[in-house]
């Protein structure tokens, strides 16, 4: 995959994520949800960062396991 194609893909994914966030905020406001306090935004940011770190850590473990052969069936116990 070329750099230009990768950059386009990343830009499309960022745009889709921004659109989804805007839609969620729009639905939240229509549904009657009140404004979020500063503590709510901090908690949301920490939750998103924690979920991203957890996903990155699990993907790293999966790739390392595959690369080092931890999940091979032909190993002796």
For the chain, what are the domain ranges?
Answer: 1-35, 37-77
Measure the CA–CA gap between 7 and 55, rounded to whole angstroms.
22
Measure the CA–CA gap between 62 and 12, rounded to whole angstroms.
26
- The backbone region for 75, taken as left when phi is positive above 0, alpha when psi lies in -120 to 50, beta otherwise, is beta
Q: Where are the beta strands (DSSP E) in 1-77?
A: none
pTM above 0.85, yes or no: no
Q: Centre a 10 Å sphere on the Cβ of residue 36 and count the other Cβ atoms it contains.
A: 13
**Phi, psi dihedral angles at 71 (to 5 degrees):** -105, 15
Taking only the tens place, the pLDDT of each residue in 20-75 is 999 998 898 888 777 889 998 899 899 999 999 999 999 999 999 888 877 777 65
């Amino acid at each position: 995959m070329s750099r230009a194609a990768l950059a386009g893909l990343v830009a499309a994914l960022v745009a889709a994520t921004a659109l989804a966030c805007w839609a969620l905020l729009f639905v939240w406001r229509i549904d009657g949800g009140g404004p979020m306090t500063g503590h709510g935004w901090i908690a949301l940011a920490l939750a998103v960062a924690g979920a991203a770190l957890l996903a990155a850590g699990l993907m790293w473990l999966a790739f390392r396991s595959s690369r080092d052969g931890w999940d091979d069936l032909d190993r002796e116990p």
